[in-house]
Amino acid sequence: MIKKTFIIFLSICLIQFFSNNSYAVEPNEILENQKQEFRARNISKNIRCMICQNQSIDESSAPLAKDLRILIRNKIKDGKKDEEIYKFLTDRYGDFILLKPSFKLNTLALWLLPFVFVLIGIFIVFFHNKKSKKI
Amino acid sequence: MKKKLLIIPPLLFLLILLTFFYLLIIERNPSEIPSNLLDKSVPNFETESLLKKERFISSKEFGKEIMLVNFFATWCLPCRDEHIYIKRFSDEKGIRVIGINYKDNPKKATQWLKDMGNPYSNVPIDKYGKIAIDWGVYGIPETFIISSEGIIKYRHVGSVTKKIYKKINLLIKEIE
Amino acid sequence: MAPSLGNFALWLSLFFAISQFFISKNNNLKLIKISVNGLIISSLISFFLLMYSHVVSDFSVLNVFQNSHTTKPLLYKISGIWGNHEGSMLLWILVLTIFNYFIFKLYNKKNSTFISKTLETQAFITTGFILFTILTSNPFERMFPTQENGLGFNPILQDPALAIHPPLLYIGYVGFSAAFSISIATLSLENSEKIPWHIYMKPFVLAAWTFLSIGIALGSVWAYYELGWGGWWFWDPVENASFMPWLLGTALLHSLIIVEKRRSLQAWVLLLSILAFLLSVVGTFLVRSGILTSIHTFALDPSRGVYILAFTALLGGYSLILFGTKSKKYFDNNYFTFFSKEGSILINNILMVVVCATVFLGTVYPLLIEAFTNNKISVGEPYYNSTVIPIMIPAILVMGIGPILGWGKENKSKIIKKILPSILLTTILTIFIFLIYQSYSIVGIAGIILAFWIISNNLIILIKKNKNYSIGMIVAHLGVGLLILGITGSSVWQEEKITRMKIDSETKIEKYNIVFEKINEIRGTNYVALQGNFLIYDEKKNIIAKLKPENRFYPITNNFTTEASIHTNLFRDLYIVLGEGNLNDGWVVRIYYNPLVIWIWIGALVIFLGGITSININLKKLKILSQ
């Protein structure tokens, strides 16, 4: 009897914790259509949880993360495309909410520089090869 | 040719360090995100009002004078802390403040405002948090300054402290 | 008493560090010996006095009050010393003084000028860190009136892996400081060509790289077991701060081999050793300055940031200018083709540096954007996955054949003969894996092929028992192959099931049946918890395991945590997390099937063992040399 009461008590406490802190994707959020659910998970994995440290809304237990997960699924069910959903979120929260930075003018350097680094690397190797061959 | 090129990496290194130095000196909160709605019109929304019978229609409320919008909830402790400053905005400075009640229990909210005093000219209810998402809200309390043309001019995330209270008053004076 | 003594010892160590800086200029053996020994002893004393204050729970010490509590288990009271900013600085200093001592041990009549110069540089670095600690982060700061108990400590951080993680990382960073000092000495002195500086550098680089590897791995182990969703690397800025020196360290280690055997790539080694340590300091800056927030960052304090930045600028400016002006004589023109051992190491180097530059770009870019455009963007996992992985792939391919190529050049037809057995073995092992896992994704296939490519090549080297190959290298490379195997399996073939279960209900994942047996309440040393009991059955209806995930509540810090329960074997992990729920509606249960995860940890351990083996062999060689 005492054991059961304790369990009920602790569950209530944990519900308070969890209802203010629902634990990442929940069973009742999962869409029936597998393709849609897959899309939803993929989009969620690219959306930052704004109040967590470096987590996506897919992994996060924060209330806002849950709200956004449900919002994304509703929009998918309404037939919105991925780009439209991303635009909806970035219009309101800015580019910061994207974990994969978008391809914009201000992220040009971010995306191009790795290629440039590889090219410089290849150049150095060829240059070293050529130079040492002459000798 | 080669020697001149070698200057580039150390220069870049120095530039990056200078940038870090700049970021350290200026006052910034590394975890605060700037609002994407700055200099944009207030999002349109329509919802129930907590204390009035008529529905709250945003197009009718904004666009006439400088206003503040404050997202709050009874379950949010920092909202309680900042309440005194919200009251000062409306009582001492005569600024119209709209309080958007976020994901709350209406009865509790009504009681809360009774107990703590109601600084809000109107209290639209955001039952599911949809309005907050449209405003790019991510952590309540949040306070926005709206110009007399209905343009969002400033947002503060977190409770209004004495410092922020002074800052908002200054900004309002500038906007007018 | 103890804290004041500790503070005194800290100031004393500053005195010895400054003394060492000035004394080494004069190359006076007796005085140098006094300062080196004085440094390490005073540093040890201050460290142990802080430890004493924590162990006896002396809450008059601010550091103890902020981070400890009487109910904390002893192990975590001790490891709590370096779990906070101020205490961890004391650990940094201690490791610096220990490595300083080892540098001093190299001193002999022939290299006295060289080692003195190295000690001078090392003294400068140590002074910088001690001064930083005293000025901005003194752990012996007192707090009056003394409270009865402390602020406790985050329960998630009370974990054995996390306890040992910082000391191992610091051995890494500080090891690179020794390599840095040796580099500076080499560049500043005129006739250092006669000094075998690369032989002095190698043990430090080996130690630094080996311990940095295991330190990083333990951080990931902790994340996997503690954080509750099976992740183990998040490209968090602070994780990147440890990964970048590791990448350069890998390049440095390999280049040292070439310097040793062929006297090539000397300038490269000097530059890499400078950069590796600079990045370690920049990493320290990112973590402790408050310039960005992450799970790992310590408390915010701009003054700390300004100090470290100035220190970095000083070190970086001086070392890079020194390299720019004095490195010319170390550039060589030894010829080697692509298809040679040197060629593959050079390619590996370039790729490691490119990955490092990319990770640095991703980490620093949001800050640059914020400074220049007042906008905030974030660079998360997807960016790094898209950029780093494609660059790593050729590096791994080269890593397979590199060791078996000859020095200087290799006959191209001979190469095909040499790699034929490993291609065969790779194919066989890949097919074997696919018979077990039967999952067909291109990324998965690519990863598995790469992993077995490395493993096959090294197994064949082992089988052939060719004594030309360093056993440490073979073991370490094998470890990398196993690591890739584990990373591929767990990332690509992971399965997840999220469902609500009532007591006595059953669910299925892969070929396993999972029965929710009951809910218990349990009491731990400083927590209470709800524990779910789950029975796992295989397809033949035999019980494989009983998993018991918990949801804990720590009353003192008012924290809730979830503890996942994991059943591990060589093929997969079964990972269960208990969510919210109640007796009526049932509980949310999240079940993960993570294939090959244990190979990540085995791989990391094997890499570590390879490193340790190499350190052993290297130290033996050094002993013979000095005799």
Name the residue ranges covered by the structural domains of chain B. 36-175
Q: What is the pLDDT of residue C108?
A: 86
Q: What is the pLDDT of residue C338?
A: 74
* Shortest CA distance from C322: residue in chain B: B10
Q: What is the pLDDT of residue C256?
A: 93
Identify the band that residue C374 occupies on the pLDDT scale cut at 50, 70 and 90: confident
Are C549 and C555 in contact by the 8 Å Cβ rule? The answer is no
Cβ–Cβ contact B15 with C under 8 A = no
Chain C nearest C-alpha distance from A118 (Å):
6
pLDDT tens for residues B34-49?
899 999 999 999 999 9
* Shortest CA distance from C265: residue in chain A: A128
Q: Which residues of C touch B10 (CB under 8 A)?
A: 316-317, 320-321, 324
- CA nearest neighbour of C125 among C238, C248, C277: C277
* Shortest CA distance from B30: residue in chain C: C292
Are B80 and B45 in contact by the 8 Å Cβ rule? The answer is no
What CA–CA distance (Å, rounded) separates C205 from A97? 40
ipTM of the complex: 0.88
What CA–CA distance (Å, rounded) separates B2 from A128? 13
What CA–CA distance (Å, rounded) separates A35 from A25? 16
Q: Which residues of C touch A66 (CB under 8 A)?
A: none
Query: Per-residue pLDDT averaged across C537-563, rounded?
Result: 87
Query: Per-residue pLDDT averaged across C449-453, rounded?
Result: 91
What CA–CA distance (Å, rounded) separates C35 from C12? 11
What stretches of B34-139 show up as alpha helix (H) in DSSP? 58-61, 77-91, 106-116, 130-134
Judged against a pLDDT cut of 80, whether residue C298 lies above it is answered with no
The domain ranges of chain A are 2-102, 103-135
* Cross-chain Cβ contact B10/C312 below 8 Å: no
More confident residue, C474 or C439: C474
* Shortest CA distance from A54: residue in chain B: B31
Q: What is the pLDDT of residue C134?
A: 96
Give burial (CB, 10 Å; 0-12/13-18/19+) of C511.
Answer: exposed
What CA–CA distance (Å, rounded) separates C115 from C124? 14
Q: What is the identity of the amino acid at C509?
A: I
| Residue C536 β-bridge partners | C514, C545
Contacts of C461 (CB under 8 A, 6+ apart): C403, C404, C469, C474
Q: What is the pLDDT of residue C406?
A: 77
Q: What is the pLDDT of residue C104?
A: 95
Judged against a pLDDT cut of 90, whether residue C410 lies above it is answered with no
Query: Per-residue pLDDT averaged across C530-545, rounded?
Result: 91
What CA–CA distance (Å, rounded) separates C99 from C442? 46
pLDDT tens for residues C481-523?
999 999 999 888 888 999 999 999 999 998 899 999 999 999 9
Mutate to test the interface with C, among B23, B26, B154, B157 (most CBs of C within 10 A): B23
Token pair in block for residue C493: 């073939």
More confident residue, B57 or C407: B57
Nearest Cβ partner for A67 among B35, B133, B139? B133
Query: Per-residue pLDDT averaged across C328-346, rounded?
Result: 80
Cβ–Cβ contact B5 with C under 8 A = no
Are C607 and C599 in contact by the 8 Å Cβ rule? The answer is no
Q: What is the pLDDT of residue C416?
A: 78
Which three-class secondary structure state does DSSP give residue C164? helix
Mutate to test the interface with B, among C326, C376, C378 (most CBs of B within 10 A): C376
What stretches of C289-380 show up as alpha helix (H) in DSSP? 302-326, 341-373
Greatest Cα pair distance in chain C: 82
What CA–CA distance (Å, rounded) separates C358 from A111? 10
Query: Per-residue pLDDT averaged across A37-56, rounded?
Result: 90
Nearest Cβ partner for A92 among B34, B103, B133? B133
Beta strand B96-102 pairing with B67-72: parallel
Q: What is the pLDDT of residue A134?
A: 57
pLDDT tens for residues C92-145?
999 999 999 999 999 988 889 999 999 999 999 999 999 999 999 999 999 988
Identify the band that residue A22 occupies on the pLDDT scale cut at 50, 70 and 90: very low
Give burial (CB, 10 Å; 0-12/13-18/19+) of C5.
Answer: middle
User: How many CB atoms are located within 10 Å of the residue C415 CB?
Assistant: 15
Q: What is the pLDDT of residue B13?
A: 86
Cβ–Cβ contact A96 with B under 8 A = yes
Q: How many CB pairs under 8 A join B and C?
A: 55
Judged against a pLDDT cut of 60, whether residue C257 lies above it is answered with yes
Query: Sign of the CA dihedral C71, C73, C77, C80?
Result: negative
Contacts of A4 (CB under 8 A, 6+ apart): C583
* Cross-chain Cβ contact C391/A3 below 8 Å: no
* Cross-chain Cβ contact A53/C562 below 8 Å: no
Query: Per-residue pLDDT averaged across B96-102, rounded?
Result: 95
* Cross-chain Cβ contact C382/A94 below 8 Å: no
Fold classification of A2-102 (topology level): Helicase, Ruva Protein; domain 3 (1.10.8)
- How would you classify residue B158: left for phi > 0, otherwise alpha for psi between -120 and 50, otherwise beta? left
- Considering only CA atoms, give the Rg of chain A: 23
pLDDT tens for residues C192-243?
778 889 999 999 999 999 999 999 999 999 889 887 777 899 999 989 999 9
What CA–CA distance (Å, rounded) separates C303 from C164? 29
Token pair in block for residue C551: 């949801």
Give the DSSP letter string of C503-540.
TT-EEEETTEEEEEEEEEEEE-SS-EEEEEEEEEE-TT
Judged against a pLDDT cut of 90, whether residue C602 lies above it is answered with yes
Contacts of C416 (CB under 8 A, 6+ apart): none
- CA nearest neighbour of C378 among A45, A86, A102, A101: A101
What CA–CA distance (Å, rounded) separates C366 from C380? 10
Query: Per-residue pLDDT averaged across B119-147, rounded?
Result: 94
Cβ–Cβ contact B77 with C under 8 A = no
Chain B nearest C-alpha distance from C306 (Å):
7
Q: What is the pLDDT of residue C194?
A: 81
Q: In chain C, what percentage of residues exceed pLDDT 90?
A: 57
- CA nearest neighbour of C123 among C31, C215, C240: C31
* Shortest CA distance from B35: residue in chain A: A93
Which three-class secondary structure state does DSSP give residue C479? helix
pLDDT tens for residues A26-36?
888 888 888 99
Chain C nearest C-alpha distance from B87 (Å):
31
User: How many CB atoms are located within 10 Å of the residue C502 CB?
Assistant: 13
* Shortest CA distance from B23: residue in chain C: C371
User: Which helix H or strand E contains A21, and what residues bound it?
Assistant: none
pLDDT tens for residues C579-591?
888 888 889 999 9
Which three-class secondary structure state does DSSP give residue C547? strand
What CA–CA distance (Å, rounded) separates C473 from C462? 11
Identify the band that residue C625 occupies on the pLDDT scale cut at 50, 70 and 90: confident
Chain C nearest C-alpha distance from B15 (Å):
10
Beta strand C565-568 pairing with C559-563: unpaired
pLDDT tens for residues C142-187?
998 888 888 866 777 778 888 999 999 999 999 999 999 999 999 9
Least confident of B81-90, C216-225, C299-308, C444-453: C299-308
Q: What is the identity of the amino acid at C409?
A: K
* Cross-chain Cβ contact A99/C381 below 8 Å: yes
Which three-class secondary structure state does DSSP give residue C563? strand
Are C403 and C473 in contact by the 8 Å Cβ rule? The answer is yes
User: How many CB atoms are located within 10 Å of the residue C296 CB?
Assistant: 16
Q: Which residues of C touch A118 (CB under 8 A)?
A: 354, 391
Angle between helices C341-373 and A108-134 (to 10 degrees): 150
Q: Which residues from C are below 8 Å from B when comparing CB atoms? A: 285, 289-293, 300, 302, 305-306, 309, 312-313, 316-317, 320-321, 324, 364, 367-368, 370-372, 374-376
What CA–CA distance (Å, rounded) separates A45 from C110? 60
- For tokens 């001086």, the residue is C318
What CA–CA distance (Å, rounded) separates C627 from C571? 50
Domain B36-175, CATH = 3.40.30.10
Q: Which residues of C touch B7 (CB under 8 A)?
A: 324
Q: What is the identity of the amino acid at C114?
A: F
Q: Which residues from B are below 8 Å from A when comparing CB atoms? A: 33-37, 75, 103, 128-129, 133-136, 138-139
Instruction: Using CA atoms of C124, C126, C129, C132 in order, give the dihedral in degrees to the nearest 10.
Output: -60
Token pair in block for residue C569: 């074997």
Q: What is the pLDDT of residue A16?
A: 45
Chain mean pLDDT for chain C: 89
Q: In chain B, what percentage of residues exceed pLDDT 70?
A: 97
Instruction: Using CA atoms of A100, A104, A109, A114 in order, give the dihedral in degrees to the nearest 10.
Output: 40
Fold classification of C164-340 (topology level): Four Helix Bundle (Hemerythrin (Met), subunit A) (1.20.120)
Query: Per-residue pLDDT averaged across C608-623, rounded?
Result: 91
User: How many CB atoms are located within 10 Å of the residue C294 CB?
Assistant: 18
Q: What is the pLDDT of residue A18?
A: 43
User: Which helix H or strand E contains C129, and what residues bound it?
Assistant: helix C112-136
Are C482 and C607 in contact by the 8 Å Cβ rule? The answer is no
Token pair in block for residue C260: 């040793």
* Cross-chain Cβ contact C362/A110 below 8 Å: yes
Are C454 and C400 in contact by the 8 Å Cβ rule? The answer is yes
- CA nearest neighbour of C401 among C336, C461, C472: C461
